[in-house]
Chain A
Amino acid sequence: MYILVSIAILVTMVLALVRALLGPTVYDRVLAVNVFGTKTVLLLSVIAFLYGRPDFLDLALAYALINVVGILAVLEFFQDRSRKQQGADND
């Protein structure tokens, strides 16, 4: 059962990767990265159980905590850019 779930997750990772490669907008790519991150957490947890190594769950925990920082940095990046553009337009 764990194997089936991990295969489903792997297939979804491929689909997300295809979306990241196709684009077409940058936001689609960021969304794909986000989906990919969540899928990695799921995959790590499922595989930790598949191998019976539950102490490796620490890794999935690290990702679950840290993944969002990258996406928030993207938000700040775009916010900063649109503010700079507004400033340039006002001048």
Chain B
Amino acid sequence: MIDVVLDVISWVLLALGGACVLIGGIGGLRLPNFYTRIHAASLTDTMATLLIFTGMMLQSGFSLPTMKLFAIMLFLLLTGPTATYALANAALLSGMKPDSGVERDRGASGGVQ
């Protein structure tokens, strides 16, 4: 009984995680400018990571792989937002303004000419 419940929960988590990954990918392609695309990237960086890894941990039970999965999840959750912060900061430093979605990508090619 408990096995079935665990299985169902982990499948649901994995499916949700896969959906988050897809939504983030589509958002990264379709959103209008750089600072909005960061939102899509953060969705796959954090939510999808949490869901998929929790789903896999439920599948593998209490074992060494579970500990490894937990470590990977922890490091991803730490490094993903840090990388995004570093990136947004680098963009801001080089004079890219987060002002509007109206302007779209025009005039935003600052930094590397």
Does B49 have its Cβ within 8 Å of any Cβ on chain A?
Answer: yes
A25 pairs with B108, CB closer than 8 A: yes
Taking a contact as CB atoms under 8 Å apart, the answer to whether B108 and A41 are in contact is: no
Residues of chain A contacted by B17 (CB below 8 angstroms): 5
Of A8, A19, A30, A60, which is within 8 A of B72 by CB?
A60
Is B26 on the interface with A (CB-CB < 8 A)?
yes
A74 to chain B, nearest CB (A): 6
**Nearest-Cβ distance from residue B16 to partner chain A, whole angstroms:** 10
Say whether B9 faces chain A, with CB atoms less than 8 Å apart. no
Per a CB cutoff under 8 Å, which of A11, A24, A31 touches B87?
A31
- Pairwise interchain contact B76-A64, C-beta atoms closer than 8 A: yes
Whole-angstrom distance between the alpha carbons of A72 and B87 in the complex?
Answer: 8
Q: Which residues of chain B in 37-82 are interfacial with respect to chain A, using CB atoms and an 8 Å cutoff? A: 37-38, 41, 44-45, 48-49, 52-53, 56, 59-60, 63-65, 68-69, 71-72, 75-76, 79-80, 82
Interface on B for A, CB 8 Å cutoff?
11, 14-15, 17-19, 21-22, 24-26, 28-29, 34, 37-38, 41, 44-45, 48-49, 52-53, 56, 59-60, 63-65, 68-69, 71-72, 75-76, 79-80, 82-84, 86-87, 89-91, 93-94, 96, 105, 108-112
Contact surface of A with B, Cβ cutoff 8 Å: 1-2, 4-5, 8-9, 11-16, 18-19, 24-28, 30-32, 34-35, 38-39, 41-42, 45-46, 49, 54-55, 57-58, 60-61, 64-65, 67-68, 71-72, 74-75, 77-79, 81-82
